[in-house]
Structure 1
Amino acid sequence: MLWGLGQALLEANYMDPSRGRWVASGLGDYLVPVNADAPEVEIELVEVEDKIVNPLGVKGVGEVGQVGAAAAIANAIHHATGRRIRKLPITIEDLL
């Protein structure tokens, strides 16, 4: 979920036209969300055994929470402001 939040609102890297380089040249300069940026999230897992996937019958859930997060945030912004933003990350300049 944090990955989707970052995709929707924070993660961007721009080219500095005066230097011809990326503004965030390393991971230390790249803005990503941390746990303090996220609301409290309640996660519910539904156990389904699937022996076709692998012998243990388990599946990973790593990227599943990221898929719809940016779209949900964009829809919430549209609902609140009436502006439909079609690029990520959504910045305050997009809303002005």
Structure 2
Amino acid sequence: FAEVRVDPDFGEVRVTRFVGAFGVGQVINLKTARSQMIGGIVMGLGMALLEETVTDSRTGRIVNANLGEYHVPVNADIPAIESYFVEEIDPYINPIGAKGAGEIGITGVAAAVANAVYHATGKRIRDLPITPDKLL
């Protein structure tokens, strides 16, 4: 779930709060699994609001091929994040009942942000990243 604030004059989107609940089976190490989910959420926020690969239409080369021009989220871009695990028992997956957490935290983040932007502005943005020019 995402909570956003959108500046009506400039179209700047800021995520103010994010809550994620994940079903990953039996959690073996709660601290590292929670950090993995928060990392996935941060990647999803970057996908939703910042990250965009720009290619030259004539040559097909990537124009923003370095971190100076390819924008990724930094600490100031990240809101308060809450991560929870849905308790589930799956005796069929393996003897421990654990599933891979991997990058499951990124799943649905961009969609949650886009839906929050829609509820805040009434504009449905279907092309990521959600930038001011698409909102104004």
Give unpaired runs (5+ residues) of structure 1: none
CA distance in 2, matches of 1:49, 1:20: 48
Q: In structure 2, the residue corresponding to 1:41 is in which secondary structure? A: strand
Deviates more, 1:57-66 or 1:18-27: 18-27
RMSD over aligned CA atoms reads: 2.4
Percent of aligned positions that are identical: 55
| Separation of aligned partners in 2, 1:87 and 1:74 | 9
State the match for 1:8 in structure 2. Answer: 48
Q: State TM-score, norm by structure 1.
A: 0.77
Matched, 1:44 2:74: no
Higher strand share: 2
For residues 20 and 62 of structure 1, what CA distance do their matches in structure 2 show? Answer: 32
Deviations 1:17-39 (A, max 9, x none): 57753122245643222344211
Secondary structure of 1:43 counterpart = strand
2:110: which partner in 1?
Answer: 70
Aligned equivalent of 1:81:
121
In the TM superposition, what is the alpha-carbon distance from 1:94 to its structure 2 partner? 0.5
Aligned residues: 96
CA distance in 2: counterparts of 1:56 and 1:28, whole angstroms: 44
Kindly provide the CA deviation profile for residues 22-80 of structure 1, in whole angstroms up to 9, marking residues without a partner as x. Answer: 12224564322234421111222234332321232211223332222111111111122
63-72 vs 12-21, greater mean Cα deviation? 12-21
The verdict on how the C-alpha distance between 1:48 and 1:22 changes in structure 2, with shifts beyond 3 A counting, is same
TM-score by length of structure 2 reads: 0.58
